[in-house]
A and B are shown apart, each in its own frame.
Chain A
Amino acid sequence: MTLPAWSDAFREGRLGPAPGLDLEVPITAAWAYGDGTGRGVRVAVIDSGVDASHPAVRHVEGYVAFEHDPGADRELRRVEGPHDDLYGHGTACGGIIRSLAPEVELFSVRVLGQRLTGKAYVFAAALEWCIDNRMDVVNLSLSTSNEDYFDVFHDLCDRASFHRVMLVSALANERKASYPSQFAGVFSVAASEGADRELITCNPTPPAEWGAPAVEIEVPWLDGGSIVATGNSFAAPVIAGHVARVVGAHPGITPFQAKTVLAALAANRP
Protein backbone atom coordinates (compact mmCIF):
# COMPACT_ATOMS: atom_id res chain seq x y z
CA MET A 1 0.00 0.00 0.00
CA THR A 2 1.22 3.48 -0.78
CA LEU A 3 1.05 5.27 2.54
CA PRO A 4 -0.17 8.84 2.91
CA ALA A 5 2.58 11.48 2.98
CA TRP A 6 4.30 11.75 6.37
CA SER A 7 3.31 8.17 7.23
CA ASP A 8 6.72 6.88 6.20
CA ALA A 9 8.16 8.04 9.51
CA PHE A 10 6.05 5.42 11.31
CA ARG A 11 7.09 2.41 9.26
CA GLU A 12 8.60 -0.42 11.21
CA GLY A 13 12.36 -0.04 11.34
CA ARG A 14 12.23 3.69 10.59
CA LEU A 15 10.78 4.98 13.82
CA GLY A 16 13.22 5.90 16.58
CA PRO A 17 12.32 5.72 20.27
CA ALA A 18 9.79 8.23 21.60
CA PRO A 19 11.31 11.01 23.70
CA GLY A 20 11.55 9.70 27.27
CA LEU A 21 12.00 11.28 30.69
CA ASP A 22 13.67 8.49 32.68
CA LEU A 23 11.20 8.98 35.54
CA GLU A 24 11.75 7.20 38.83
CA VAL A 25 8.12 6.08 38.74
CA PRO A 26 7.00 5.54 35.14
CA ILE A 27 3.69 6.91 33.87
CA THR A 28 1.17 4.09 33.58
CA ALA A 29 -1.90 3.80 31.38
CA ALA A 30 -4.06 3.41 34.50
CA TRP A 31 -2.83 6.73 35.88
CA ALA A 32 -2.85 8.52 32.51
CA TYR A 33 -6.30 7.45 31.32
CA GLY A 34 -8.15 7.04 34.63
CA ASP A 35 -11.38 5.21 33.81
CA GLY A 36 -10.64 5.72 30.09
CA THR A 37 -14.08 7.08 29.26
CA GLY A 38 -13.26 10.73 28.70
CA ARG A 39 -16.39 11.56 30.72
CA GLY A 40 -17.23 15.27 30.66
CA VAL A 41 -14.51 16.16 28.16
CA ARG A 42 -15.75 18.51 25.43
CA VAL A 43 -14.46 17.30 22.06
CA ALA A 44 -15.16 19.28 18.89
CA VAL A 45 -14.95 17.75 15.41
CA ILE A 46 -14.41 20.47 12.79
CA ASP A 47 -15.47 18.63 9.63
CA SER A 48 -18.40 17.80 7.36
CA GLY A 49 -20.83 17.29 10.27
CA VAL A 50 -21.27 14.32 12.60
CA ASP A 51 -24.28 12.00 12.25
CA ALA A 52 -25.62 11.45 15.78
CA SER A 53 -27.85 8.59 14.62
CA HIS A 54 -24.89 6.47 13.52
CA PRO A 55 -24.48 3.52 15.94
CA ALA A 56 -20.77 4.31 16.27
CA VAL A 57 -21.55 7.90 17.33
CA ARG A 58 -24.83 7.46 19.28
CA HIS A 59 -25.15 11.05 20.42
CA VAL A 60 -23.86 14.53 19.66
CA GLU A 61 -24.07 17.11 22.41
CA GLY A 62 -23.83 20.26 20.31
CA TYR A 63 -23.89 21.52 16.75
CA VAL A 64 -22.75 24.61 14.96
CA ALA A 65 -22.21 25.14 11.24
CA PHE A 66 -20.13 27.89 9.65
CA GLU A 67 -20.89 28.76 6.05
CA HIS A 68 -19.62 31.16 3.44
CA ASP A 69 -22.39 33.72 2.85
CA PRO A 70 -21.58 36.66 0.57
CA GLY A 71 -24.51 38.64 2.02
CA ALA A 72 -23.60 38.22 5.69
CA ASP A 73 -21.33 40.24 7.96
CA ARG A 74 -17.71 39.21 7.20
CA GLU A 75 -19.32 36.89 4.57
CA LEU A 76 -19.79 34.36 7.33
CA ARG A 77 -22.96 32.72 8.56
CA ARG A 78 -23.17 30.73 11.79
CA VAL A 79 -26.03 28.26 12.12
CA GLU A 80 -26.71 26.65 15.49
CA GLY A 81 -28.80 23.51 15.88
CA PRO A 82 -28.70 19.92 14.60
CA HIS A 83 -27.33 19.30 11.12
CA ASP A 84 -26.47 16.33 8.90
CA ASP A 85 -23.11 15.02 7.89
CA LEU A 86 -22.76 16.09 4.26
CA TYR A 87 -20.17 13.52 3.39
CA GLY A 88 -19.43 10.87 6.00
CA HIS A 89 -15.98 12.19 6.84
CA GLY A 90 -17.02 13.89 10.09
CA THR A 91 -19.01 10.85 11.21
CA ALA A 92 -15.91 8.72 10.67
CA CYS A 93 -13.91 11.04 12.93
CA GLY A 94 -16.63 11.30 15.58
CA GLY A 95 -17.12 7.52 15.61
CA ILE A 96 -13.40 6.85 16.02
CA ILE A 97 -13.19 9.29 18.95
CA ARG A 98 -16.25 7.70 20.58
CA SER A 99 -14.71 4.20 20.16
CA LEU A 100 -11.76 5.28 22.33
CA ALA A 101 -13.40 7.69 24.76
CA PRO A 102 -17.09 6.66 24.86
CA GLU A 103 -18.34 9.28 27.30
CA VAL A 104 -16.94 12.48 25.81
CA GLU A 105 -19.32 15.29 24.88
CA LEU A 106 -19.09 15.50 21.09
CA PHE A 107 -19.61 18.81 19.29
CA SER A 108 -20.08 18.79 15.53
CA VAL A 109 -18.61 21.97 14.05
CA ARG A 110 -19.42 21.84 10.35
CA VAL A 111 -17.32 23.74 7.84
CA LEU A 112 -17.04 21.38 4.87
CA GLY A 113 -19.73 21.43 2.21
CA GLN A 114 -21.11 18.84 -0.20
CA ARG A 115 -17.91 18.90 -2.18
CA LEU A 116 -15.69 18.38 0.82
CA THR A 117 -14.15 21.77 0.32
CA GLY A 118 -14.23 24.82 2.49
CA LYS A 119 -12.77 28.25 2.78
CA ALA A 120 -9.83 28.98 5.04
CA TYR A 121 -11.54 31.91 6.79
CA VAL A 122 -14.58 29.73 7.56
CA PHE A 123 -12.25 27.11 9.01
CA ALA A 124 -10.45 29.78 11.08
CA ALA A 125 -13.80 31.11 12.40
CA ALA A 126 -14.79 27.59 13.44
CA LEU A 127 -11.51 27.06 15.28
CA GLU A 128 -11.93 30.39 17.04
CA TRP A 129 -15.44 29.35 18.09
CA CYS A 130 -14.01 26.15 19.60
CA ILE A 131 -11.49 28.12 21.67
CA ASP A 132 -14.07 30.70 22.79
CA ASN A 133 -16.55 27.96 23.70
CA ARG A 134 -14.15 26.10 25.98
CA MET A 135 -13.68 22.93 24.00
CA ASP A 136 -11.06 20.70 25.66
CA VAL A 137 -10.02 18.83 22.52
CA VAL A 138 -10.51 19.79 18.86
CA ASN A 139 -10.12 17.26 16.06
CA LEU A 140 -8.92 18.81 12.81
CA SER A 141 -8.92 16.21 10.04
CA LEU A 142 -8.50 19.06 7.60
CA SER A 143 -6.00 21.83 7.03
CA THR A 144 -5.35 24.67 4.64
CA SER A 145 -2.49 25.28 2.23
CA ASN A 146 -3.45 28.92 1.90
CA GLU A 147 -0.27 30.83 2.85
CA ASP A 148 -2.35 33.94 3.60
CA TYR A 149 -3.70 32.15 6.65
CA PHE A 150 -0.37 31.08 8.15
CA ASP A 151 -0.45 33.94 10.70
CA VAL A 152 -4.14 33.55 11.48
CA PHE A 153 -3.79 29.87 12.32
CA HIS A 154 -0.53 30.43 14.15
CA ASP A 155 -2.22 32.96 16.43
CA LEU A 156 -5.22 30.68 16.94
CA CYS A 157 -2.92 27.78 17.87
CA ASP A 158 -1.13 29.94 20.43
CA ARG A 159 -4.47 31.05 21.88
CA ALA A 160 -5.64 27.45 22.05
CA SER A 161 -2.43 26.39 23.77
CA PHE A 162 -2.65 29.19 26.36
CA HIS A 163 -6.29 28.24 27.07
CA ARG A 164 -5.36 24.56 27.42
CA VAL A 165 -7.32 23.54 24.34
CA MET A 166 -5.73 20.49 22.69
CA LEU A 167 -5.66 20.78 18.89
CA VAL A 168 -5.22 17.44 17.14
CA SER A 169 -4.47 17.99 13.47
CA ALA A 170 -4.08 15.54 10.57
CA LEU A 171 -1.15 16.20 8.27
CA ALA A 172 -2.01 16.50 4.58
CA ASN A 173 -2.04 13.29 2.54
CA GLU A 174 0.40 14.86 0.10
CA ARG A 175 3.75 16.19 1.21
CA LYS A 176 2.84 19.86 1.05
CA ALA A 177 2.77 22.66 3.57
CA SER A 178 -0.53 22.74 5.43
CA TYR A 179 -1.74 24.68 8.44
CA PRO A 180 -2.18 24.29 11.31
CA SER A 181 -1.11 20.64 11.00
CA GLN A 182 2.62 21.36 10.94
CA PHE A 183 2.73 23.80 13.86
CA ALA A 184 4.60 22.69 16.98
CA GLY A 185 1.67 23.71 19.18
CA VAL A 186 -0.71 21.08 17.80
CA PHE A 187 -0.69 17.29 17.95
CA SER A 188 0.43 16.62 14.33
CA VAL A 189 -0.82 13.21 13.24
CA ALA A 190 -0.12 10.82 10.34
CA ALA A 191 -1.33 7.30 9.63
CA SER A 192 0.57 4.26 10.81
CA GLU A 193 -0.09 0.65 9.85
CA GLY A 194 -1.80 -1.88 12.11
CA ALA A 195 -5.33 -2.18 13.44
CA ASP A 196 -5.05 -1.71 17.21
CA ARG A 197 -6.05 1.85 18.10
CA GLU A 198 -4.49 1.43 21.52
CA LEU A 199 -1.05 1.35 19.86
CA ILE A 200 -0.07 4.91 19.12
CA THR A 201 3.47 6.05 18.38
CA CYS A 202 5.47 9.23 18.92
CA ASN A 203 8.04 10.24 16.31
CA PRO A 204 11.13 11.87 17.88
CA THR A 205 11.70 13.82 14.65
CA PRO A 206 8.54 15.85 13.83
CA PRO A 207 6.62 17.47 12.11
CA ALA A 208 4.83 14.11 11.88
CA GLU A 209 4.83 13.82 15.68
CA TRP A 210 2.09 11.25 16.33
CA GLY A 211 1.23 8.04 14.49
CA ALA A 212 -2.04 6.14 14.80
CA PRO A 213 -3.54 3.23 12.81
CA ALA A 214 -5.31 4.55 9.70
CA VAL A 215 -4.21 2.37 6.81
CA GLU A 216 -7.00 0.25 5.31
CA ILE A 217 -9.19 0.49 8.36
CA GLU A 218 -12.96 0.29 8.63
CA VAL A 219 -14.48 3.63 9.60
CA PRO A 220 -18.11 4.72 10.19
CA TRP A 221 -19.69 6.55 7.24
CA LEU A 222 -23.12 7.76 6.14
CA ASP A 223 -26.47 6.08 6.83
CA GLY A 224 -25.16 3.89 9.62
CA GLY A 225 -22.70 2.19 7.29
CA SER A 226 -18.95 1.98 7.06
CA ILE A 227 -16.18 2.06 4.48
CA VAL A 228 -12.59 0.87 4.39
CA ALA A 229 -10.30 3.87 4.14
CA THR A 230 -6.71 5.01 4.33
CA GLY A 231 -5.68 8.51 5.30
CA ASN A 232 -4.22 10.81 7.89
CA SER A 233 -7.77 12.10 8.47
CA PHE A 234 -8.61 8.89 10.30
CA ALA A 235 -5.41 8.88 12.37
CA ALA A 236 -6.07 12.26 14.01
CA PRO A 237 -9.28 11.17 15.79
CA VAL A 238 -7.43 8.18 17.29
CA ILE A 239 -4.98 10.58 18.94
CA ALA A 240 -7.89 12.91 19.83
CA GLY A 241 -9.54 9.97 21.63
CA HIS A 242 -6.38 9.23 23.61
CA VAL A 243 -5.97 12.91 24.48
CA ALA A 244 -9.62 13.07 25.61
CA ARG A 245 -9.03 10.17 28.00
CA VAL A 246 -6.01 11.95 29.50
CA VAL A 247 -7.94 15.23 29.87
CA GLY A 248 -10.81 13.30 31.45
CA ALA A 249 -8.50 11.83 34.06
CA HIS A 250 -6.55 15.07 34.60
CA PRO A 251 -8.81 18.10 34.10
CA GLY A 252 -6.83 21.28 33.49
CA ILE A 253 -3.81 19.49 32.04
CA THR A 254 -1.89 21.62 29.52
CA PRO A 255 -1.11 20.55 25.94
CA PHE A 256 2.61 20.14 26.67
CA GLN A 257 1.85 18.02 29.72
CA ALA A 258 -0.56 15.87 27.70
CA LYS A 259 2.11 15.33 25.05
CA THR A 260 4.53 14.16 27.73
CA VAL A 261 1.95 11.73 29.10
CA LEU A 262 1.10 10.32 25.65
CA ALA A 263 4.77 9.96 24.71
CA ALA A 264 5.26 7.90 27.88
CA LEU A 265 2.48 5.55 26.74
CA ALA A 266 3.58 5.32 23.09
CA ALA A 267 4.23 1.86 21.68
CA ASN A 268 7.79 3.01 20.81
CA ARG A 269 8.57 4.40 24.29
CA PRO A 270 12.22 3.86 25.22
Chain B
Amino acid sequence: MSATPSPLRALADVAADLARVLVPDAVTGLLQRIAATAQVAIGATACSVAVVDEDTDELAYVTATGPAADQVVGMRLPLGRGIGGYVAASGEAIAVDDVRRDARWAADVAERIGYQPTSMLAVPVARTDRILGVLSVLDRDGTRSTADALDLAAAFAGQAADALAIGDAIRDMGRVLLRAAGEATDGDLAAALRRAAARSGAPDAELTALAAHLATLRRLGAAERAAATALLGDLVTYAQQRRSRR
Protein backbone atom coordinates (compact mmCIF):
# COMPACT_ATOMS: atom_id res chain seq x y z
CA MET B 1 0.00 0.00 0.00
CA SER B 2 1.52 3.30 -1.02
CA ALA B 3 1.95 6.18 1.39
CA THR B 4 -0.18 9.28 0.91
CA PRO B 5 1.93 11.91 -0.89
CA SER B 6 2.69 15.07 1.01
CA PRO B 7 0.45 18.05 0.20
CA LEU B 8 3.43 19.84 -1.34
CA ARG B 9 4.17 16.89 -3.59
CA ALA B 10 0.55 16.63 -4.66
CA LEU B 11 0.55 20.34 -5.44
CA ALA B 12 3.77 20.02 -7.45
CA ASP B 13 2.27 17.15 -9.46
CA VAL B 14 -0.79 19.24 -10.29
CA ALA B 15 1.44 22.16 -11.27
CA ALA B 16 3.55 19.85 -13.43
CA ASP B 17 0.45 18.60 -15.24
CA LEU B 18 -0.51 22.19 -15.91
CA ALA B 19 3.02 23.13 -16.91
CA ARG B 20 1.81 25.08 -19.94
CA VAL B 21 1.27 28.01 -17.55
CA LEU B 22 5.04 28.08 -17.10
CA VAL B 23 5.54 29.20 -20.69
CA PRO B 24 6.29 32.91 -20.49
CA ASP B 25 4.02 35.46 -22.14
CA ALA B 26 6.97 36.43 -24.30
CA VAL B 27 6.51 33.26 -26.40
CA THR B 28 2.86 34.12 -27.12
CA GLY B 29 3.94 37.71 -27.77
CA LEU B 30 6.58 36.52 -30.20
CA LEU B 31 4.05 34.42 -32.11
CA GLN B 32 1.74 37.44 -32.23
CA ARG B 33 4.52 39.61 -33.67
CA ILE B 34 5.47 36.94 -36.20
CA ALA B 35 1.84 36.78 -37.39
CA ALA B 36 1.57 40.59 -37.56
CA THR B 37 4.84 40.90 -39.48
CA ALA B 38 3.87 38.09 -41.85
CA GLN B 39 0.56 39.80 -42.58
CA VAL B 40 2.27 43.08 -43.51
CA ALA B 41 5.20 41.52 -45.38
CA ILE B 42 2.99 39.27 -47.49
CA GLY B 43 0.35 41.97 -47.99
CA ALA B 44 -2.73 40.31 -46.53
CA THR B 45 -5.82 41.03 -44.44
CA ALA B 46 -5.19 38.51 -41.68
CA CYS B 47 -2.73 35.95 -40.40
CA SER B 48 -2.97 33.26 -37.74
CA VAL B 49 -0.90 30.54 -36.09
CA ALA B 50 -2.48 27.32 -34.84
CA VAL B 51 -0.77 24.50 -32.98
CA VAL B 52 -1.41 20.77 -33.14
CA ASP B 53 -2.84 19.34 -29.92
CA GLU B 54 -1.80 15.69 -30.11
CA ASP B 55 -3.94 14.75 -27.11
CA THR B 56 -7.19 15.74 -28.82
CA ASP B 57 -6.20 15.56 -32.53
CA GLU B 58 -7.16 19.20 -32.88
CA LEU B 59 -5.69 22.35 -34.25
CA ALA B 60 -5.77 25.13 -31.62
CA TYR B 61 -5.50 28.74 -32.81
CA VAL B 62 -3.12 30.55 -30.48
CA THR B 63 -2.67 33.88 -32.22
CA ALA B 64 -4.31 35.87 -34.99
CA THR B 65 -4.36 39.28 -36.62
CA GLY B 66 -7.00 40.90 -38.82
CA PRO B 67 -10.74 41.53 -38.68
CA ALA B 68 -11.82 38.40 -36.79
CA ALA B 69 -8.71 37.96 -34.64
CA ASP B 70 -10.65 37.78 -31.36
CA GLN B 71 -12.94 35.05 -32.67
CA VAL B 72 -10.09 33.06 -34.18
CA VAL B 73 -7.91 32.90 -31.06
CA GLY B 74 -9.06 29.99 -28.94
CA MET B 75 -10.84 28.29 -31.83
CA ARG B 76 -10.21 24.53 -32.07
CA LEU B 77 -10.74 22.45 -35.21
CA PRO B 78 -10.35 18.72 -35.79
CA LEU B 79 -7.10 17.86 -37.59
CA GLY B 80 -7.67 17.29 -41.27
CA ARG B 81 -10.69 19.60 -41.49
CA GLY B 82 -10.54 22.73 -43.61
CA ILE B 83 -7.46 24.20 -45.20
CA GLY B 84 -5.47 24.64 -41.98
CA GLY B 85 -6.38 21.12 -40.94
CA TYR B 86 -5.29 19.79 -44.31
CA VAL B 87 -1.88 21.43 -44.00
CA ALA B 88 -1.47 20.13 -40.43
CA ALA B 89 -2.43 16.59 -41.43
CA SER B 90 -0.40 16.43 -44.64
CA GLY B 91 2.50 18.78 -43.96
CA GLU B 92 1.94 20.28 -47.40
CA ALA B 93 1.81 24.02 -48.09
CA ILE B 94 -1.11 25.22 -50.19
CA ALA B 95 -2.55 28.40 -51.65
CA VAL B 96 -6.21 28.60 -52.67
CA ASP B 97 -7.50 31.55 -54.69
CA ASP B 98 -11.19 31.16 -53.89
CA VAL B 99 -12.02 29.19 -50.78
CA ARG B 100 -15.74 29.97 -51.15
CA ARG B 101 -15.99 27.72 -54.18
CA ASP B 102 -16.08 24.63 -52.00
CA ALA B 103 -18.32 24.31 -48.97
CA ARG B 104 -16.10 21.60 -47.52
CA TRP B 105 -13.37 24.13 -46.83
CA ALA B 106 -14.67 24.92 -43.37
CA ALA B 107 -17.40 27.35 -44.38
CA ASP B 108 -18.96 26.86 -40.94
CA VAL B 109 -15.79 28.29 -39.45
CA ALA B 110 -16.13 31.41 -41.60
CA GLU B 111 -19.69 31.71 -40.32
CA ARG B 112 -18.62 31.27 -36.71
CA ILE B 113 -15.95 33.96 -36.88
CA GLY B 114 -18.12 36.30 -38.95
CA TYR B 115 -15.58 36.73 -41.71
CA GLN B 116 -15.55 34.94 -45.05
CA PRO B 117 -12.12 35.04 -46.68
CA THR B 118 -11.71 34.73 -50.44
CA SER B 119 -8.13 33.56 -50.73
CA MET B 120 -6.12 31.57 -48.25
CA LEU B 121 -2.58 30.34 -48.03
CA ALA B 122 -1.33 27.98 -45.34
CA VAL B 123 2.07 26.48 -44.61
CA PRO B 124 3.16 23.92 -42.04
CA VAL B 125 4.93 25.09 -38.89
CA ALA B 126 7.27 22.15 -38.57
CA ARG B 127 10.41 20.75 -37.09
CA THR B 128 12.26 18.13 -39.08
CA ASP B 129 10.44 15.19 -37.53
CA ARG B 130 6.96 16.52 -36.80
CA ILE B 131 4.37 19.14 -37.61
CA LEU B 132 3.83 21.60 -34.75
CA GLY B 133 1.13 23.70 -36.35
CA VAL B 134 0.03 25.87 -39.26
CA LEU B 135 0.53 29.47 -40.28
CA SER B 136 -2.38 30.78 -42.37
CA VAL B 137 -2.65 33.98 -44.38
CA LEU B 138 -6.01 35.30 -45.58
CA ASP B 139 -6.93 37.54 -48.51
CA ARG B 140 -3.65 38.62 -50.06
CA ASP B 141 -3.77 42.01 -51.79
CA GLY B 142 -1.93 40.81 -54.87
CA THR B 143 1.28 42.76 -54.37
CA ARG B 144 3.18 39.49 -54.16
CA SER B 145 3.00 36.49 -56.44
CA THR B 146 1.68 33.27 -54.94
CA ALA B 147 5.18 31.78 -55.08
CA ASP B 148 6.68 34.78 -53.24
CA ALA B 149 3.90 34.72 -50.67
CA LEU B 150 4.45 30.99 -50.05
CA ASP B 151 8.19 31.61 -49.65
CA LEU B 152 7.61 34.39 -47.13
CA ALA B 153 4.98 32.44 -45.23
CA ALA B 154 7.37 29.49 -44.98
CA ALA B 155 10.09 31.76 -43.58
CA PHE B 156 7.73 33.15 -40.92
CA ALA B 157 6.51 29.63 -40.17
CA GLY B 158 10.13 28.71 -39.45
CA GLN B 159 10.30 31.50 -36.87
CA ALA B 160 7.00 30.36 -35.38
CA ALA B 161 8.40 26.81 -35.11
CA ASP B 162 11.38 28.14 -33.17
CA ALA B 163 9.11 30.14 -30.84
CA LEU B 164 6.93 27.09 -30.19
CA ALA B 165 10.00 24.93 -29.57
CA ILE B 166 11.26 27.40 -26.97
CA GLY B 167 7.87 27.39 -25.24
CA ASP B 168 7.79 23.56 -25.27
CA ALA B 169 11.33 23.35 -23.85
CA ILE B 170 10.47 25.70 -20.99
CA ARG B 171 7.26 23.80 -20.24
CA ASP B 172 8.98 20.40 -20.27
CA MET B 173 11.85 21.60 -18.11
CA GLY B 174 9.42 23.20 -15.66
CA ARG B 175 7.37 20.00 -15.49
CA VAL B 176 10.41 17.89 -14.63
CA LEU B 177 11.69 20.36 -12.03
CA LEU B 178 8.28 20.71 -10.37
CA ARG B 179 7.84 16.94 -10.11
CA ALA B 180 11.36 16.60 -8.73
CA ALA B 181 10.77 19.38 -6.23
CA GLY B 182 7.57 17.70 -5.07
CA GLU B 183 9.28 14.34 -4.63
CA ALA B 184 12.30 15.91 -2.95
CA THR B 185 10.09 17.01 -0.03
CA ASP B 186 10.14 13.30 0.88
CA GLY B 187 13.87 12.75 0.23
CA ASP B 188 16.84 13.42 -1.93
CA LEU B 189 16.78 15.94 -4.84
CA ALA B 190 19.19 14.00 -7.06
CA ALA B 191 17.17 10.79 -6.72
CA ALA B 192 13.98 12.74 -7.38
CA LEU B 193 15.47 14.28 -10.54
CA ARG B 194 16.48 10.82 -11.73
CA ARG B 195 12.95 9.50 -11.19
CA ALA B 196 11.45 12.54 -12.93
CA ALA B 197 13.88 12.05 -15.82
CA ALA B 198 12.94 8.39 -16.10
CA ARG B 199 9.31 9.41 -16.64
CA SER B 200 10.17 11.97 -19.35
CA GLY B 201 10.74 11.28 -23.01
CA ALA B 202 14.09 11.74 -24.76
CA PRO B 203 15.99 14.04 -25.04
CA ASP B 204 14.72 15.75 -21.88
CA ALA B 205 15.39 12.55 -19.94
CA GLU B 206 19.10 12.71 -20.78
CA LEU B 207 19.40 16.36 -19.84
CA THR B 208 17.57 15.80 -16.58
CA ALA B 209 19.79 12.81 -15.78
CA LEU B 210 22.79 15.06 -16.43
CA ALA B 211 21.31 17.64 -14.06
CA ALA B 212 20.91 14.91 -11.43
CA HIS B 213 24.59 13.97 -11.73
CA LEU B 214 25.54 17.62 -11.33
CA ALA B 215 23.34 17.89 -8.23
CA THR B 216 25.15 14.88 -6.71
CA LEU B 217 28.57 16.32 -7.59
CA ARG B 218 27.66 19.62 -6.00
CA ARG B 219 27.22 17.84 -2.68
CA LEU B 220 30.37 15.74 -2.90
CA GLY B 221 33.08 18.41 -2.63
CA ALA B 222 35.55 20.69 -4.43
CA ALA B 223 37.96 17.95 -5.60
CA GLU B 224 35.20 15.85 -7.18
CA ARG B 225 33.73 18.93 -8.86
CA ALA B 226 37.13 19.90 -10.30
CA ALA B 227 37.75 16.37 -11.61
CA ALA B 228 34.28 16.19 -13.16
CA THR B 229 34.69 19.61 -14.81
CA ALA B 230 38.02 18.55 -16.34
CA LEU B 231 36.56 15.23 -17.55
CA LEU B 232 33.48 16.90 -19.01
CA GLY B 233 35.65 19.53 -20.72
CA ASP B 234 37.80 16.84 -22.34
CA LEU B 235 34.72 14.94 -23.47
CA VAL B 236 33.18 18.06 -25.05
CA THR B 237 36.44 18.89 -26.89
CA TYR B 238 36.76 15.29 -28.13
CA ALA B 239 33.13 15.17 -29.27
CA GLN B 240 33.41 18.49 -31.11
CA GLN B 241 36.55 17.37 -32.94
CA ARG B 242 34.98 14.02 -33.85
CA ARG B 243 31.82 15.70 -35.18
CA SER B 244 33.79 18.20 -37.28
CA ARG B 245 35.67 15.32 -38.96
CA ARG B 246 32.44 13.68 -40.22
Over the window 154-182 of chain A, the binary record of Cβ atoms lying under 8 Å from chain B Cβ atoms (1 yes, 0 no) is: 00000000000000000011111000000
Interface size on B, residues (CB 8 A): 35
Q: Which of A86, A173, A222, A223 contacts B92 (CB 8 A)?
A: A173
Main secondary structure of the interface of A (DSSP, over half): loop
Provide the residues of chain A in CB contact with B19, threshold 8 Å.
Answer: none
A114 to B155, CA, bound (A): 29
Does B79 lie within 8 Å of A4, measured CB to CB?
A: no
Which of chain B's residues have a CB closer than 8 A to the CB of A237? none
Q: Is B66 an interface residue (CB 8 A)?
A: no
Contact among B90, B96, B155 with A173 in the assembled complex (CB-CB below 8 Å): B90
Closest Cβ neighbor of A232 among chain B residues: B92
What separation, in Å, do the CA atoms of A174 and B91 have in the docked complex?
A: 7
- Of A174, A221, A227, A234, the most chain B CB neighbours within 10 A belong to A227
A-B contact pairs, 6 of them (CB 8 A): A117-B89, A216-B150, A223-B102, A229-B93, A230-B93, A231-B91
Q: Tell me if A133 counts as interface (CB < 8 A to partner B).
A: no
Stretch in contact with the other chain, from B123-131, B188-196, B204-212? B123-131
> Is the Cβ of B92 less than 8 Å from the Cβ of A229?
yes
When the two chains form their complex, are residues B94 and A174 in contact, meaning their CB atoms are under 8 A apart?
no
Kindly list chain B residues whose C-beta atoms are within 8 Å of the C-beta of A74: none
Tell me which residues across on chain B come within 8 A of A173, comparing CB atoms.
Answer: 90-92, 124, 126, 131
Give complex CA distance A173, B157 in Å: 15
Who on chain B is nearest to A3 by CB? B154
**Contact between chains at B95 and A229 (CB < 8 Å):** yes
CB proximity to B under 8 Å, residues A94-147: 114-117
Q: Cβ of A225: which chain B residues have Cβ within 8 Å of it? A: 98, 101-102
B61 on the interface (CB 8 Å rule)? no
Residues from chain B with a CB closer than 8 A to the CB of A5 are: 128
The contact of A231 among B78, B92, B101, by CB within 8 Å, is B92
Rounded to whole angstroms, the CA-CA distance of A10 and B105 in the bound complex is 33
By CB atoms of chain A within 10 A, which of B90, B128, B150 has the most? B90
The reply to whether B130 and A174 form a contact with Cβ atoms under 8 Å apart is yes
Question: Closest residue to B82 on the A side, CB-wise?
Answer: A115
A172 to B123, CA, bound (A): 15
What's the least CB distance linking A268 to chain B, in Å? 24
Contact with A along B138-154 (1 / 0, CB 8 A): 00000000110011001
Bound complex: CA A175 to CA B130 (Å): 8
Residue of chain B at shortest CB distance from A219 = B94
Contacts of B94 in A (CB 8 A): 227-230
Contact B95 A227 (CB under 8 A): yes
Q: Provided the pairs A1-B150, A225-B98 are in contact, do residues A116 and B129 lie with their beta carbons within 8 angstroms?
A: no
Q: Could you tell me if A222 and B102 are in contact, using CB atoms closer than 8 angstroms? A: yes
Given contacts A173-B124, A174-B128, A223-B102, contact A2 B92 (CB under 8 A): no
